[in-house]
Structure 1
Amino acid sequence: MTADARSADTVPTQPTSATAPPARGIRTPARGWLIAAMLCVLMTINFADKSVLGLAAEPLMRDLGLTASQFGLAGSIFFLLFGVTGVVVGFLGNRFTSTRLLLVIALAWSVSMMPLLLFPSLAGLLVNRLLLGAAEGPTAPLASHAVQKWFSDSRRAVPASLVNLGAGLGIAIAAPVLTYLITNFGWQSAIWCMAVVSLVWAAGWKLVGREGPLDTYDSAADLPGDHTPAAEVRVPYRRLFAASSWWAPILVLAPGYFSFAVFSVWGPSYFVSGLGYSPGTVGWLIAVYGLVMAFGHIFFSWLSGVLVRRGVGTRWARGVYMGVVVCLCGELLVVAVAMGTGPWAAGLLLVSFGFAGTVHTIGFLLVAESSPVGQRSAMLSSFNSVVTAFAVIAPFVAGVLVDTAATPTDGYRTAFLWCGILLIVGGLAGAVFIRPDRDTRRLGLRGTDSD
């Protein structure tokens, strides 16, 4: 790509030759896979922390004397600072190593458990969830940014999905283990468990955490048709945020995260009071939900990566693909609500809610595809913060629906139905508007059409 073909707003950070060949055949050091595995464990702890509130819902509400609306408020307040800290730490990630920031985050998780343990009350619960949400907000985008420094663009799908595999594993492992602790030793034991596990991970990360070598856009470029500038470029943020690869995936993923927030807080209660399962059985059902998520993260990302390596443009292999997956999940959820009760309805709920958020990895890959590496942390974190923003109101709104419906079961189903409708609309919109091929050309990151 010639210099005058580039936008005037795209500035190389250093003088260099006009072009550079894509870095094909990049070999990933074994440490890259170790980093991916450690970040998978981090995300496992992350989602175990998120799920503990829903698993402990019945004893917590009873012991603290909470109404459904108050408990829903506790679920919502988790996301109040989630996006704010995500953006702030994301911009810090442009200046400081992700290795150091992730260590601080893990330590903060452990500290955030203390208010609830020391002051078991509605106030203690609200402070706990507020601090935990603030600490966890930057985690997923920072972990994605960190692992992408070890893998070339066409080979990122599987290791990036391995990181997000922790979301499903966290729920699958936490559901039976934490349910056992809650049932036999009280909900405080589950909170202590999560505080200790966070400290153990931080110690391990201190020993093995390292920054990856692919710290410029062209050093990781190997998509079909790539012909990238050899210098790292810097693009005004207003142009990066205007790219469809940043805002259009939000249309797809925000409904998925809204649905996750509703189900993580209220799903276990619905299975007990609405479908008649025992708490012990519900623990295993939520574990199945987690395994569905884990499978979806790996399978959908793997298939997207296969399509990219076979020459399918990322508009189709990432954009349209993720929109179709989310739309189908919404349709399954609507069918599950219409079925009412029975094992088939329960199974469809687990599958539709489980798969709805498993294309989050592909959304991160789309944002990374249209972001210079020096600005990628901020772009990923801002993206994730907007995706998760509506989760602030999701559990509270669902709690109000439960309190005001003719029966709690009717309230749960109404909330789930709206989740399904949002998934359908968001999936269709994303499939139409996502255009990474056009974005990378306009931003001066690629000189050819990769579609």
Structure 2
Amino acid sequence: MLAVLMAINFADKSLLGLAAVPLMRDLDLSPSEFGLAGSIFFLLYGIAGVAVGFLGNRFSSTRLLMIIALAWSVSMAPLLLAPTLGGLLVSRLLLGAAEGPTAPIAGHAVQKWFTDTRRSVPTAMIFLGSGVGVALAAPLLTPLIDNFGWKSAVWVMAALSLLWAIAWKFIGREGPLDTYSAAAEVINSAESGPEKRLPYRQLFGATSWWAPMLALAPGYFAFAMFSVWGPSYLVTGLGFSSSKMGLLIAVYGAVAAVGFIAFSWLSGNLVNRGYSTRWARGVYIGVVVTVSGLILVASMSIGSGMLAAWLMLIGFGLSNTVYSIGYLLVAEVSPVQQRSAMLATFNSVVTAGAVLAPSLGGLLVDHAGTPAEGYRTAFLFCGLLLIVGGIGAALFTRPDRDRRRLGLPATQQS
């Protein structure tokens, strides 16, 4: 259910980019105005994520997730009732506020069911939904948009959110692992006692909280850039038809979906074989993100043709495949009663750059000699950010040292 929720979440995010050409035509929008609509989605995204994350420390994640899904459905109304730039901006603003808390609350919920050494793949299964959502949205929503208009796709996404909330009412449950010691498989049971709360200034100072951001923030910046401008680049920059574009975007989703599971499984396998989480999670994140940046830079160097398109899709697709491993690193240094807030704050900081990405892309397209040049400049910038951030995460993430400094119990992966 949580994977399906994330699939709907990312299909919603992708919808704006998939409908870019007819939406800009119908509402008479310039690239800069359309970029603003992409950016405003993230304006309240992080703020709402933090606010609801702290609520998740006190209230049932099951109930919060149902409210979130209902809010998604309602947020579609302004665009459907007032199909103007104003309606679009209000709708995207409300949708971003509703979707901002989704990933951290879902991550917190699933981690109540699995101990630390067993949660790599289950956590990744949530984010698998993001890749599946993009992979399915592109080929399914694009024909719908082409044949029945972009409003039909908006109605479909609103209905899916509502149906999920109804199903979750009957299916959703809270997990039993509600203390750090229970979830972390402590080596010495004598060390496990009542759950203790730690000052947030100490928790936020842990490298397991801030260092993965160096890689994952550029990854989310790249996702925001691609979700808004990737489809347009394939059509107006590389000359593909809208139907071909839908299939190519599905490649991006497939790379992301397979990567989420494969990379998380390998990371979990390394932990179970005795590798420290510094290498199996921290350095691992850095390497994957750096490689994705190198592939993206290579695709922009080629410039045109099918090879450039495939490399671009693979580079963007890989950039977020280790996102769930960042959640595992944060959970390593978070008492369960504070984990929802820790994950939500982490997610909000990581996604903050997405406020700028679509607008930056629109400005670059507006001021470039040709739209294709503007897209390539924007995507090249994303690739360079990924390389620098990936190297930084690999160098600075030290979860073992964090646990000792915070006085958390020694665990099996220590």
What amino acid is the match of 1:409?
A
Q: What are the equivalent positions in structure 2 for 1:29-68 lying under 5 Å apart?
A: 38-68=1-31
The answer to whether residue 235 in structure 2 is matched with residue 269 in structure 1 is no
8 Å Cα contact 1:437/1:450 also seen in 2? no
Does the C-alpha gap of structure 1 residues 173 and 387 become closer, same or farther in structure 2, counting only changes over 3 Å? same
Identity %: 67
Does the C-alpha gap of structure 1 residues 162 and 399 become closer, same or farther in structure 2, counting only changes over 3 Å? same
What amino acid is the match of 2:41?
F
1:356 matched residue in structure 2 = 319
The answer to whether residue 350 in structure 2 is matched with residue 423 in structure 1 is no
Does the C-alpha gap of structure 1 residues 224 and 180 become closer, same or farther in structure 2, counting only changes over 3 Å? farther
- Secondary structure of the 1:416 match is helix
The answer to whether residue 187 in structure 2 is matched with residue 232 in structure 1 is no
What amino acid is the match of 2:405?
R
C-alpha displacement of 1:344: 1.0
C-alpha displacement of 1:230: 2.5
The answer to whether residue 262 in structure 2 is matched with residue 299 in structure 1 is yes
Cα deviation code 1:190-218 (max 9, x no counterpart): 00000000010001100010000001001
The answer to whether residue 181 in structure 2 is matched with residue 184 in structure 1 is no
Where has structure 1 moved over 3 Å in runs of 4 or more? 223-228, 447-451
8 Å Cα contact 1:221/1:228 also seen in 2? no
Equivalents in 2 of 1:129, 1:446: separation in Å? Answer: 43
8 Å Cα contact 1:441/1:449 also seen in 2? no
8 Å Cα contact 2:117/2:413 also seen in 1? no
Equivalents in 1 of 2:191, 2:144: separation in Å? Answer: 53
What amino acid is the match of 1:79?
F
The answer to whether residue 46 in structure 2 is matched with residue 90 in structure 1 is no
Does the C-alpha gap of structure 1 residues 227 and 326 become closer, same or farther in structure 2, counting only changes over 3 Å? farther
C-alpha displacement of 1:444: 1.2
2:107 matched residue in structure 1 = 144
8 Å Cα contact 2:272/2:413 also seen in 1? no
Normalized against structure 1, the TM-score is what?
0.90
How many residues align? The count is 414
Q: What are the equivalent positions in structure 2 for 1:37-436 lying under 5 Å apart?
A: 38-222=1-185, 228-436=191-399
What amino acid is the match of 1:410?
E
Cα deviation code 1:269-314 (max 9, x no counterpart): 0000111100011011111110110001001000000000111100
Cα deviation code 1:167-199 (max 9, x no counterpart): 000001111111011001000000000000001
Equivalents in 1 of 2:408, 2:192: separation in Å? Answer: 7
C-alpha displacement of 1:446: 2.4
C-alpha displacement of 1:342: 1.3
Cα deviation code 1:409-444 (max 9, x no counterpart): 000000000000000000000001000001111111
Does the C-alpha gap of structure 1 residues 281 and 223 become closer, same or farther in structure 2, counting only changes over 3 Å? farther
What amino acid is the match of 1:385?
S
Equivalents in 2 of 1:363, 1:228: separation in Å? Answer: 26
Equivalents in 1 of 2:24, 2:258: separation in Å? Answer: 32
Normalized against structure 2, the TM-score is what?
0.98
Cα deviation code 1:50-69 (max 9, x no counterpart): 00000000000000000000
Q: What are the equivalent positions in structure 2 for 1:12-31 lying under 5 Å apart?
A: none
What amino acid is the match of 1:252?
A
Equivalents in 2 of 1:343, 1:62: separation in Å? Answer: 27
1:34 matched residue in structure 2 = none
C-alpha displacement of 1:136: 0.2
Does the C-alpha gap of structure 1 residues 159 and 226 become closer, same or farther in structure 2, counting only changes over 3 Å? farther
What amino acid is the match of 1:305?
G
Equivalents in 2 of 1:72, 1:142: separation in Å? Answer: 28
Equivalents in 2 of 1:167, 1:331: separation in Å? Answer: 23
The runs of 5 or more residues in structure 1 that have no matched partner are 1-37
Equivalents in 2 of 1:328, 1:232: separation in Å? Answer: 39
1:29 matched residue in structure 2 = none
